[in-house]
Amino acid sequence: MEIKKCVRCGGFFSSENEVCGICEKKDSIDVNKLKGFLLEELDVGTTKTDISHSTGITMKNLNRYLNGAEFKGVNIPEYKIENVEDNVVTKV
Ligand SMILES: [Zn+2]
């Protein structure tokens, strides 16, 4: 059987998946959180950074899930395009 390196923890394993057995469980928990977020909390202007902060999923894992077939068609920007002038704090 082919020995692979787990994309999540870097451990070696042999399986058809891209992650090892331990990370497969962690992945499924994360994916469920992500699905819940997309269903309930996704808003206009939500970025990957927002999702990462709310769910605790790392950007690396988040990108991996979103690039997967399961989330095909889900397009979430990496960062907010902010209007710099809106962020200027007016001092009285
Ligand atoms: Zn792993």
What would the pLDDT profile of 41-79 be if each residue is shown by its tens digit? 998 889 999 999 999 999 999 999 999 989 988 889 888
Check: pTM over 0.75? Answer yes or no. Answer: yes
Going from the Cα of 3 to the center of ligand 1, the distance in angstroms, rounded, reads 13
Q: Is the dihedral of CA 53, 54, 60, 62 positive or negative?
A: negative
3-state class (DSSP) for residue 15: coil
Q: Where are the domains of the chain?
A: 22-79
pLDDT, tens digit, 9 for 90 and up, residues 29-44: 999 999 999 999 998 8
Going from the Cα of 85 to the center of ligand 1, the distance in angstroms, rounded, reads 44
CB 17 within 8 A of CB 23: no
